[in-house]
């Protein structure tokens, strides 16, 4: 017992001798909280620009049920225009907009573009209430940069989530493809983020560390219906291209060239095939098919002439390789489509740099509007 008492006494004395922790210096706290101060500032500045959008969907005439849905949007200008996703307002009967302070007003549809999944609605309110977002150049976004989403997930108004840009240059099926009415065009240059995005975030802004718009949150990849780590946003460069057309005409017309190529998503891009096929370049678009009567056909672009099997997959080879458009290097079909979407309109003429065998030359191509129906497709390889 005496030994036990002595041992306890030594423990108590040691504890009493230990220094008492002191408060961390203010400069360390400030350094640790700098990011949170940044986010709090961005939230305070931007949340008045973000709105909740509630819609009443069109229902069959004999239905007694009312179907509703909700999403997010943001103020585009002081004329009352608000940008959101096309899939949020497609086929709706009425639109209601709620501002961050609880003010509620009705909205009218100005225009929608199912290809880019962007739409514009308009509210008639005091311009003092309208605080437009500032656009950044999404072409300058890089993987690893901060990504900040503000929206209304699950109807929870004015919620912020953060993460990073986890990939750039993704493709998504356009909203009309999802609806089953599209001609097969993919939405290019999509930003991939790990910032939590859930139902209700659709149409809300994706921001950089300055609080500038770099994208419009549009989709998640999930099997459960909720966020599982991968979200997607339409880049601000596409928004800047599409919205003015929606304001002017209510619709958007895109340039079309009329070629097909192997999918880079499946691992059959030019960089992936260069060594196996002994291609003369390491990047570009290997043309497998040319649609009859298309701008590509009229310009004299050549499609593939024979099939070879690569990794148990037939590949059409022997066609031209597009390596640049208007002196801008093209690494893939996504690069080509993205350039045409953002920088051209139907009727424009572009100069394409072509590699054909051992020859490299420039070829002018006059673009046309995308056809609503692609029933006239490229011929089978070599025919």
Catalytic residue among 70, 202, 255, 264: 202
Q: Which helix (H) or strand (E) holds 299?
A: helix 295-299
Distance (Å, whole) CA 226 – CA 179: 20
> Annotated catalytic, 176?
no
Catalytic residue among 117, 176, 320, 334: 117
Catalytic residue among 49, 70, 72, 87: 87
Cα distances (Å, whole numbers) of residue 360 to 60, 281, 288, 341: 58, 11, 18, 25
On the CB side of 305, how many CA atoms lie within 13 Å of its CA? 8
Q: Which helix (H) or strand (E) holds 219?
A: strand 213-220
In this structure, are residues 268 and 174 in contact, taking their beta carbons and an 8 Å threshold?
A: no
In this structure, are residues 123 and 156 in contact, taking their beta carbons and an 8 Å threshold?
A: no
Tally of CB atoms within 10 A around 255: 22
Residue whose pair of structure tokens reads 């229902």 in the numeric block: 59
In this structure, are residues 152 and 98 in contact, taking their beta carbons and an 8 Å threshold?
A: no
Distance (Å, whole) CA 136 – CA 208: 8
Q: What is the DSSP string of 310-343?
A: ETTEEEEESS-EEEEETTEE--SHHHHHHHHHHH
In this structure, are residues 309 and 319 in contact, taking their beta carbons and an 8 Å threshold?
A: no
> Annotated catalytic, 87?
yes
Six-digit token string for 56: 């009443």
Distance (Å, whole) CA 241 – CA 252: 9
Distance (Å, whole) CA 140 – CA 18: 53
On the CB side of 337, how many CA atoms lie within 13 Å of its CA? 23
Q: What is the DSSP string of 61-84?
A: TT-----EEEEEEEE--TTSEEEE
Residue 375, judged by CB atoms within 10 A of its CB (0-12, 13-18, 19+), counts as exposed
Tally of CB atoms within 10 A around 315: 19
Catalytic residue set: 87, 117, 202
């Amino acid at each position: 017992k005496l030994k036990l008492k002595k041992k306890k006494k030594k423990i108590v004395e040691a504890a009493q001798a230990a220094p008492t922790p002191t408060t961390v210096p203010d400069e360390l706290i400030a350094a640790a909280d700098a990011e949170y101060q940044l986010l709090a500032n961005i939230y305070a500045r931007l949340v008045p620009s973000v709105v909740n959008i509630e819609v009443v969907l069109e229902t069959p005439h004999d239905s007694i049920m009312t179907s509703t849905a909700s999403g997010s949007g943001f103020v585009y200008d002081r004329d009352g225009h608000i940008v959101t996703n096309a899939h949020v307002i497609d086929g709706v009967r009425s639109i209601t907009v709620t501002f961050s302070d609880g003010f509620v007003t009705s909205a009218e549809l100005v225009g929608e573009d199912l290809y880019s999944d962007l739409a514009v609605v308009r509210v008639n309110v005091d311009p003092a209430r309208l605080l437009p977002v500032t656009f950044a150049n999404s072409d300058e976004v890089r993987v690893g940069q901060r990504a900040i989403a503000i929206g209304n997930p699950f109807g929870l108004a004015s919620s912020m989530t953060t993460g990073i840009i986890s990939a750039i240059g993704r493709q998504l099926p356009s909203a009309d493809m999802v609806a089953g009415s599209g001609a097969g065009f993919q939405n290019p240059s999509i930003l991939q983020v790990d910032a939590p995005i859930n139902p209700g975030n659709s149409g809300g802004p994706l921001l950089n560390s300055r609080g500038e718009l770099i994208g419009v949150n549009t989709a998640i990849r999930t099997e459960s219906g909720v966020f599982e780590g991968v979200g997607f946003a339409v880049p601000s460069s596409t928004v800047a291209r599409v919205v003015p057309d929606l304001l002017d005409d209510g619709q958007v017309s895109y340039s079309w060239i009329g070629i097909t190529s192997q999918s880079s998503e499946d691992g059959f891009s030019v960089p992936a095939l260069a060594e196996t096929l002994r291609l003369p370049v390491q990047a570009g678009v290997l043309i497998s098919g040319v649609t009859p009567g298309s701008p590509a056909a009229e310009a004299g672009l050549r499609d593939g002439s024979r099939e070879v099997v690569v990794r148990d997959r037939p590949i059409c080879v022997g066609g031209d390789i597009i390596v640049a458009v208007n002196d801008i290097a093209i690494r893939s079909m996504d690069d080509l489509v993205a350039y045409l979407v953002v920088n051209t309109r139907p009727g424009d003429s572009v100069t394409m740099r072509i590699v054909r065998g051992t020859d490299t030359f420039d070829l002018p191509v006059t673009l046309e509007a995308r056809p609503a129906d692609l029933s006239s497709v490229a011929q089978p390889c070599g025919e």
